[in-house]
Structure 1
Amino acid sequence: MRVLVAGIGNIFLGDDGFGPAVVRALPPPGSPGVRVTDYGIRGMHLAYDLLGDWDALLLVDALPNRGAPGRVEVLRVDPDAESGSYVDAHAMDPEAMFATVRALGGTLPATTLVVGCQAESVAEGIGLTDTVAAAVPVAAAAVGSILGDLLDRQEV
């Protein structure tokens, strides 16, 4: 099984740097089919990488503050859902990146998940708020659990 774990977010905008912080906290992948990469705001780079043959994609990202800051959630993405066609090579909007993959002739993996954390502040500045920083190990454990489930499923 080939799984891409993609940390996304802007480290210069406070809690938006959650994805990169989580992928830095992950241990090295224990399986040769797992790749963990900090994409930051390089959506085009991620889109090109997704043209490869991946069985699963785990995006790790900050979520818009719609609930309790620091809450970690795992969300399933419908890989067949259509999104806009706006392409910005220097931004990291997942819907735009998904549209770019499709525009390049690729498809998203059938298993596409987001491990996200409700942001507290995305004001300019480097570093996560204390609330979101405390969620980094929780999200790293969630990524590890999901990877374990995906890899176990492969062996069945």
Structure 2
Amino acid sequence: MHSPKIMVMGVGNILLSDEGLGVRFLDELAQKSLPENVELLEGGTAGLELVHLIQEVDFLIIIDAINAQSEPGALFRFQPGDIQVLPEQFEVSFHQIGIIEVLTMANVLGRAPQTLIFGVQPKKLEWGMEISPEIETLFPKLAELVLLEIDSIQREGKFTRK
């Protein structure tokens, strides 16, 4: 049994403070000891060029800033199929090309990985490289959650149950 290829992708624009939390979070995760079959990728605000990168992967874990009209640092865990059930005001991403479009495109082209999204409600989105303290304090907990998912994939070949 081969180890599934797992990618953790941080998405966002690091020039807009908390919008870049997904990308910044990867720095935290990179300090952990990760299995060899886990790859970290800065998705930045890259759009459809991500499609071919994720087609090679079995499991994709995305970290992104999402606008759920919630308190800063609120954490959401969902799979792309859950999106339809989310309320209207829930914008999955602040980027032009949402990650959902990328996944849909990968599917159309033959293969999309099993995907799990951790979305974090940002505090501020103005120009600047700084992440809000509320968001930064969440990183260790988020790292734990991501490592749990990786562990679950390694053991059972699937994401943990909710």
Same-fold call, TM cutoff 0.5: yes
Partner Cα separation in structure 1 for residue 62 and residue 123 of structure 2: 19
Q: Which has the higher mean CA deviation after the structures are superposed, 23-32 or 145-154?
A: 23-32
> Of the candidates 29, 36, 39, which is equivalent to residue 40 of structure 2?
36
- How many residue pairs get aligned? The number is 142
Match for residue 101 of structure 2? 96
Shift in Å, 1:19: 0.4
Shift in Å, 1:62: 0.9
> Of the candidates 41, 52, 55, which is equivalent to residue 48 of structure 1?
52
Paired residue secondary structure (1:59): strand
CA contact (8 A) 1:78 1:112 kept: no
- 2:72 equivalent to 1:69: yes
Root-mean-square deviation (CA), in Å?
A: 2.2
- Residues 116-135 of structure 1: per-residue CA shift (max 9 Å, x gap): 21111112221111111111
* Aligned AA (1:100): M
* Aligned AA (1:75): F
Match for residue 23 of structure 2? 20
* Pair 1:123–1:65, CA change in 2 (3 A): farther
User: 5+ residue gaps in structure 2?
Assistant: 85-94, 158-162
> Of the candidates 127, 146, 149, which is equivalent to residue 143 of structure 1?
146
Partner Cα separation in structure 2 for residue 24 and residue 113 of structure 1: 19
Partner Cα separation in structure 1 for residue 153 and residue 55 of structure 2: 20
Partner Cα separation in structure 1 for residue 152 and residue 104 of structure 2: 28
